[in-house]
A and B are shown apart, each in its own frame.
Chain A
């Protein structure tokens, strides 16, 4: 019976994939549906599932045939479907402070009680936590490792305040070997370095395409906005290292280039160009997008979605395993405030923006603390206005629509006067 079920599921997924591939334009929703279907039926199809942090090295998992699942992507879905508040409250009843990260709170609550837009994530066989994005993921994954009683691998990427030191490289490189041994133990099979090299090349290929997609917004009018990027981001996070991601972004790039050639802008009357900083406010994306569009303003770029290709300069596609230590350690959030400010300024120049909108996100301290200094540096060096919006990525209780609306209006007035 189980064998039949297995065959049936594999067949259904194969057919869905085939149909998806035959389409002229790859459809994100369909790809994600297939992806979650595969993850959710992993037990039947004898595949292993690993939960992994958004900045974690997923390539070795892909090379091992393990299905990576992202609690943070799940958190974003929870936020976008406006289910964050209830799930966060449930975590608070369990004793978690309301000041803790809302991704963590909603995920912890889903793991215990189910719920959420996709009825919870498939049970993990292992957890992979890389602290290059924050210290929160360490605590969050400890909690889930205790809850599910599964092995946890921590990739400890030292924080690069001012430099990437030699000893850091040695440490992370060694841990990558420990990571491989961990995977061999849990999966009970040998790690294939040739497969890994191939996955690594595809990962870089997808990152390069993603960067090119984001770069198209340097055109006037911009063919896509940061709000579009928040949507298209899902695959560079979850399926980096697969052909699916490469194909998707290649197709997306063609679409964007076509829009550029035909002069089609994402915002009908683009007059002002803005840069977004920090995670999206998932439950108010449409509202924010309309709000800015009403001022003829387009959020042409953001520091968040570009973080998944920002460390490409440290990676070598022909020696992925060797270079990934540096690539994963020097990502946008794992560096000093001054280096982040330099990145923001480079983006201001590249996308030719008139102002910066910073989301001061209660859930994310490494991203948010230091924003005031970045704001000061940007104003000193580029003399453009910076707006700070106080909110939270998932927990709607920390968002005041009227207050944010007033501040955006005042900010846009300032930009229009310049």
Chain B
């Protein structure tokens, strides 16, 4: 259970998570300059160091009309949703947008955005895809360096190493609190609902980062610290996928009798993996975190890096089963699924795969699927 006041903190996060557009407009009204991004590989630390507010775009979950003029039906709901928002004026609070190279679809979204959505600042930060080689890390450093120069020339402000280091320290603190929150939640899933944890994570990628740090610190502090004793009848599941930010999804898993005890999601724990070393050259340090953090399947680390890490995280969180949650038409995740499922089969961890689009499948269908799966875990 949550202690008094933690509810209020949560409320702040949940409000921003449920209506990020309104949140974005509210900070715009305070004369903040906002730079948007879609992918966790965006060097947010640099954006923040330059005095801009980094704002992650998750895309609307509503109907698509305008985006259909630019994107085929076989693009994922994230890409279509973000473009729909932009075309409908729901990104009007953005002063800029950056695209770190992610996947084939986001790569083309970058072009379509550049050609159709007038944005004061636009940058393609073409990060390497291959993260293991000296040349890749050197290239990544050069790309970050160019990005700093682009931001400087557009803003007319200098971005010093000290400013970047200070920003990295803040991000380290935020990511550490997030990891604390995950650890606490894995120990005692009853202390915070998975839907709320997800809302805290996604809200932290859009809210003012000083508020985020204060809120996370308070929340970690005020969460119920008791570790439940005895056996729980509830099952423990682990999520694997990209973005999963719909509260209903988490509610249905909870209703089916399972607790989400960990994830490998870019709207979740992949975001907060790894610290940035702060006693050296800051760009080298940012580059070094980006190549060593848990990788997205669109990036190459090694042939089994993702599978190994997921197996390890599943064991560590003592999960009974894994739910793969794939955005339909997300190629990198769909390609990785059979081998990672195979690795889980080898350690006798049952899994299910769920393909979702902007809107979840009907509640009844989803409920039945989760119930059947959780039942199997008993």
Measuring CB to CB, which residues of chain A are less than 8 angstroms from any residue of chain B?
Answer: 94-97, 99-101, 104, 131, 134-136, 138-140, 142-143, 145-146, 152, 154, 156, 158-159, 161-162, 165, 167-168, 170-171, 174-175, 178, 336-338, 360, 362, 365-366, 368-373, 390
Contact = CB atoms under 8 A, between A and B. Distances in A.
A139 B297 contact: yes
Contacts of A139: 297, 331-332, 335-336
B108 A370 contact: yes
B112 A365 contact: no
B71 A146 contact: no
30 contacts: A95-B338, A96-B334, A96-B337, A100-B331, A135-B103, A135-B298, A138-B129, A139-B297, A139-B335, A143-B335, A146-B304, A154-B129, A156-B129, A158-B101, A159-B101, A161-B110, A161-B126, A167-B143, A171-B136, A171-B139, A171-B142, A336-B114, A337-B111, A338-B115, A369-B104, A369-B105, A369-B109, A370-B108, A372-B70, A372-B72
A159 B126 contact: yes
A167 B331 CA distance: 28
B155 to A, nearest CB: 20
Given A99-B74, A138-B129, A165-B126, 16 more contacts: A97-B337, A99-B329, A100-B334, A135-B107, A142-B303, A154-B300, A156-B128, A159-B107, A162-B124, A171-B139, A175-B133, A337-B112, A338-B114, A365-B75, A366-B104, A373-B111
Nearest to A370: B108
Contacts of A360: 72
B111 A170 contact: no
B124 A142 contact: no
Contacts, number: 146
A372 B69 contact: yes
Contact of A156 (B107, B108, B130): B130
A101 B99 CA distance: 24
A145 B126 contact: no
Contacts of A168: 126, 139
Nearest to A340: B111
B26 interface: no
A171 B141 CA distance: 11
B315 interface: no
B75 A154 contact: no
Contacts of B332: 135, 139
B248 interface: no
A168 to B, nearest CB: 7
Nearest to B101: A159
B116 interface: yes
A373 B116 contact: yes
Contacts of B129: 131, 135, 138, 154, 156
Interface in B121-151: 124, 126, 128-130, 133, 135-136, 138-139, 142-143, 146
A167 B146 contact: yes
Contacts of A158: 101, 126, 128, 139
Contacts of A165: 126, 146
Which of A95, A165, A360 has the most chain B CB atoms closer than 10 A to its own CB? A95
A369 B72 contact: yes
A365 B109 CA distance: 11
B341 interface: yes
B328 interface: yes
A140 B126 contact: no
A96 B300 CA distance: 19
B355 interface: yes
Contact of B331 (A101, A338, A373): A101
Interface string B162-205: 00000000000000000000000000000000000000000000
B337 A95 contact: yes
A190 B326 CA distance: 46
Contacts of B108: 337, 365-366, 369-370
Nearest to B336: A139
A140 B108 CA distance: 20
A362 B331 contact: no
A175 B135 contact: yes
Contacts of B139: 158, 167-168, 170-171
Interface in B329-356: 329, 331-332, 334-339, 341, 355
Contacts of B300: 138, 142, 154, 156
Nearest to B334: A97
Given A143-B339, A373-B112, A366 B130 contact: no
B303 A152 contact: yes
A161 B104 contact: no
Contacts of B337: 95-97
Contact of B74 (A143, A161, A362): A362
Contacts of A138: 129, 298, 300
Given A135-B104, A136-B104, A370-B112, A178 B331 contact: no
